[in-house]
Chains A and B, each alone.
Chain A
Amino acid sequence: MLRKGFAIAALGFAMLAGPALGATTFEEPKDVHWSFEGPFGKFDKAQLQRGYKVYREVCSACHAMNLMYFRNLGQPGGPFYDEKYPNPNDNPYVKSLAKDIQVGDIDSETGDAIKRPAGSADKFPSPFPNEPAARASNGGALPPDLSVIAKAREGGPAYIYSLLSGFEEAPAGLTVPPGKHYNPYYPGDLSSFWTGKGPAPKGGFISMPPPLGPNKVTFDDGSPSTVQQQAKDVSAFLMWAAEPKMEERKRFGLGAMIYLLILTGLLYASYRAIWRNVSH
């Protein structure tokens, strides 16, 4: 009787239900397997190196990473860490990577603004001198800083991977404004741009054009340079950049958990022993 009532009520509600009002929608990020998942997961060094190359050759044209220094690339857990150089500033590979990049400085003799090759203690330079310049070059949109982007977006690296590899032709019936690009993984509300049948497609318009392309980056280790591969590698690199101490954290955590388990076990045994003769 009660169930029948519910069924009728549900039917009534369903008939009352009008068209859904506009709201932010997005496609759930793709399911990706990462080497750094789980309590024992570690970064894949080769992947981080490829990811750095994607960042350097593609992303860094528009996106800053203000919290990153070249030395970070050679620190323990980093893409170019070498046991022979415990001080990452001495790492020759890091030095040579830095040397290829020009950074701004002040001439100590004349006080003039100059450019010089970066050293390992330098920050990654920003592609634009300031925010208005960045917006002026990007159709009014501001390319976000990527230092902690993998922690600053719901879905983390899987979201970044899905976004970078998920650009699609806009479905018929969707009017894409000039300078914008349809991406189903980018949160947005497309209902006012939609003239097709049924509900508006999930996703939103992003100002960033599809940044990756087949063979856009040549990987030194011979990995096939597909969009998927580039997107996956750069997402892993950005995760490392956001959490450079993750490996150290998990390693430390294992010791801490084992210690606490033993301690708790001993405390439980003491508790049982002390309370043995008390009825409670």
Chain B
Amino acid sequence: MSGHSTYEPKTGIERWLDTRLPVIRFAMDTMVDFPTPKNLNYWWTFGAILSLMLVFQIVTGVVLAMHYVPHVDYAFASVERIMRDVNYGWLIRYMHANGASMFFIAVYVHIFRNLYYGSYKAPREVLWLLGCVIYLLMMATAFMGYVLPWGQMSFHGAVVITNLLGALPVIGDAITTWLWGGFAVDDPTLNRFFSLHYLLPFMIAGVVGLHIWALHVPGNNNPTGVNVKSKEDTVPFHPYYTVKDAFAIGVFLLMFAYFVFYSPNALGHADNYIPANPLVTPQHIVPEWYFLPFYAILRAVPNKLGGVLAMFGAIGCLFVLPWLDTSKVRSMRYRPTAKLYFFIFVLACIVLGFCGARLPDDPVIPGVTSFILIDSDLNSFVWLSRIAALYYFAYFLVITPILGLTETPLPVPESISEPVLTEKKD
């Protein structure tokens, strides 16, 4: 999409097309000849995996939409009809439902890889911001998609999440009513969620286009974080990375297929096979696993508005990260202290995920009661999530800005080729 093009049209028709709409040149420059650092490890294959997952979700989703009925009286039964009477409907629906989880597994690996190797730093800030936008769109799409089967968890999840907007002062109630299309989560809500659930993936696809465009201007970061210096440092994308990505996709699909064929409901919730009933609230309302860390942050704050702000703030931190990081060294391979804090951060995210799945007042160590601190027992998931949430924010707002100024990084190699030739890669 930029840089020097090496494509030379060879046939008459290619030359003709190249002066009118250079699509072949475009494809050659971005997917074939594109110079790519030769030291990318398997963490870099998740970009390709994500592209494939987006295609999977759109293709299976379009077919599901042919059979799905977005109406409160028929939605649940129409999904089960897909499972029972549509040819291979069970396959399409289980691929779509588990595909959402796989999509999030891949995007979380992709984001953590970014954080570790400092891929968000100059000159890739726009690339990173577009990635954050994609992540936000993914969350909106997944949330609305989960509402569509109109099971108990769909309905009550939608009630809980849409009610959060009611916490906004003055305009909160009006916005919630506007979003619902009425005074409760009902048929209009389901219909608009279906409409938006169909729309947003194409917006994601559009932003993915920009994301790849923004990638191809500075080119890939790499595990050393050192800029590409010479042609020695790179290999053409095809066949080197097409084959490596394809292999990684194969491994990823094996995991995906295991869930689809042998454990299709393991990542879901049993309550969502009960048709939605506004009069019966499930004992535990929990979102899908990929939202649990944010759900834990939401519940960690005793004030509703505060919780909502903390939850959105947690995502907001990602957006401003390139300007919070003061370190001149990109890759944490050469930042031993930062590496330690990073792994604690990953742990904090996982702990938050666990907390999100539990009742806030349940004890972390069973059978032990300590003392009430402010509003809850110290030995409770709400306090554990407070500690983890505090670390989450501290990592972005305190540790990252200060550490970059105070730490002493290890010597950084002169070029990508240097460590390849002299030391063992990690």
Contact = CB atoms under 8 A, between A and B. Distances in A.
Nearest to B37: A280
Given A14-B368, A39-B262, A152-B271, A249 B91 contact: yes
Interface stretch (B13-21, B49-57, B248-256, B312-320): B248-256
Among A148, A156, A242, A261, the one with the most B-chain Cβ atoms within 10 Å of its Cβ is: A148
B261 A256 contact: yes
A203 to B, nearest CB: 15
Contact of A249 (B253, B261, B273, B425): B261
A274 interface: yes
A214 B367 CA distance: 41
A13 B380 CA distance: 13
B161 interface: no
Contacts of B38: 278, 280
B247 interface: yes
Contacts of A278: 38, 235, 240
B80 A147 contact: yes
B273 A261 contact: no
Interface in A220-255: 242, 244-245, 248-250, 252-254
A278 B232 CA distance: 10
A87 to B, nearest CB: 14
A154 B246 CA distance: 37
A270 B254 contact: no
B270 interface: yes
B301 interface: no
A264 interface: yes
A91 B235 CA distance: 63
A247 to B, nearest CB: 11
Given A249-B264, A256-B257, A264 B247 contact: yes
Contacts of B94: 249
B273 A152 contact: yes
Interface stretch (A16-24, A175-183, A190-198): A16-24
B88 to A, nearest CB: 8
Using C-beta atoms within 8 Å of the partner chain, give the interface range for chain B: 35 or more
Interface string A18-56: 101000100000000000000100000000000000000
Interface in B236-291: 239-240, 243-244, 246-247, 250-251, 253-254, 257-258, 260-262, 264-265, 270-271, 273-275, 283
A24 B283 contact: yes
B84 to A, nearest CB: 6
A97 interface: no
A72 B85 CA distance: 10
A257 interface: yes
A270 B243 contact: yes
B369 A253 contact: no
Given A67-B84, A260-B254, A278-B240, A253 B247 contact: no
B101 interface: no
Nearest to A145: B275
A274 B247 contact: no
B90 interface: yes
B115 interface: no
B318 to A, nearest CB: 30
Among B244, B271, B421, the one with the most A-chain Cβ atoms within 10 Å of its Cβ is: B244
A151 interface: yes
Nearest to B84: A244
B247 A17 contact: no
Given A151-B265, A250-B261, A16 B369 contact: yes
A267 B81 CA distance: 38
Contacts of A248: 90
B361 to A, nearest CB: 9
B399 interface: no
B420 interface: yes
Nearest to A242: B273
Nearest to A18: B369
A148 B257 contact: no
B273 A257 contact: no
Given A72-B84, A152-B270, A264 B250 contact: yes
A244 B90 CA distance: 10
A279 interface: yes
26 contacts: A16-B370, A148-B80, A151-B265, A245-B83, A245-B90, A249-B94, A253-B260, A253-B262, A256-B257, A256-B261, A257-B254, A260-B257, A264-B251, A264-B254, A268-B250, A270-B243, A270-B247, A271-B246, A271-B247, A275-B240, A275-B243, A278-B240, A279-B421, A280-B38, A280-B39, A280-B420
List the 4 closest A-B pairs by CB distance, nearest first. A253-B261, A264-B250, A152-B273, A267-B247
Interface of B: 38-39, 77, 80-81, 83-84, 90-91, 94, 235, 239-240, 243-244, 246-247, 250-251, 253-254, 257-258, 260-262, 264-265, 270-271, 273-275, 283, 367-371, 379, 420-421, 425
Given A256-B257, A263-B250, 19 more contacts: A13-B369, A17-B369, A67-B77, A67-B80, A144-B274, A145-B275, A148-B80, A153-B270, A245-B90, A249-B90, A253-B261, A256-B261, A260-B253, A260-B257, A264-B253, A267-B247, A274-B240, A275-B240, A278-B38
